Amino acid sequence: MKQPIFTGAGVAIITPFTAENKVNYPALKTILEYQIAHGTDAIVICGTTGESATLSHEEHTEAIRFTVETVAHRIPVIAGTGSNDTAYALHLSNEAEKIGVDGLLMVTPYYNKASQEGLVRHYTYLADRVSTPIIIYNVPSRTGCNVQPETYAELSKHKMIYGAKEASGNISGIAKTISLCEPDFTIYSGNDDQITAIMSLGGKGVISVLSNVAPQVAHDIAAAALQGDFETSRKLQLQYLELCNALFMDVNPIPVKQAMRMMGFDAGPLRMPLCDMSDANTEKLRCVMQKYQLI
């Protein structure tokens, strides 16, 4: 029986950069400690929100190493190790395993647009060659590739494929996936505005952008649902819906990095081709952050 790598709210953490565009490890340590002190249930490093697409291989592995060493087993650490190149995904995953992560978050191959059979072969090839639990990351708006429920059902049988971060936004599809998959296959919401909805269908938590600025809130939404208190979870979900939406008024992680700067974190710049929001959107975000008393 596969046990969830974590339950609750795992933060899809940003990667802070210096003014010279290097990974800012002292700032990352501050952010990690803040997350742990404020209820985050897991750290997801080098994911989309961490601008993994622009990290060099050396930066990617060093950020994982630094996070594992800093967290020091206090909560699980999950590393983004997916790629559109199956061989490179395996290489990166094996390196993350040696560092000592608790899980591997593997995005579907992007740009290539693999078929469903291709996805089965891709993930099976990887799962056969790792000894660390895999979470599939399905985000078709970014990858051009969507995992179908029947594909999940096939992959859920593998002993090393533990679950999925579902950011398709398709609640009906997610419900079908849960109905078809092995009972020990864990679904996490990949969208902060759908935590309660997905958990009401049997999901076990969220991999969250919201957690960067409001870790206790994301934790509480998920924790209430885990306890079967969906009324409390629903109220919190709706109470913070405007904040969830504001953090996606531009491409992630543009707004959340701006929000963290507003909060006083040394988040640093975005790496090109990403750039800061317009002044108008920045002011809208500031107003929302003030409304929720985050600044």
Residues with active-site annotation: 137, 165
CA–CA dist 84, 7 (Å, integer)? 28
Please report which helix (H) or strand (E) contains residue 57, including its range: helix 57-71
What are the phi and psi torsion angles at 159 (to 5°)?
A: -65, -20
Cis preceding linkage at 253, omega within 30 = yes
The closest of 177, 117, 121 to 153, measured between CA atoms, is: 177
Type of residue found at 294:
L
What gap in Å lies between CA 61 and CA 91, rounded to an integer? 11
- Answer whether the bond into residue 133 is a cis peptide, omega within 30°: no
Give CA–CA dist 189/204, Å, rounded: 8
Q: 249: exposed, middle or buried (C-beta count within 10 Å: 0-12, 13-18, 19+)?
A: middle
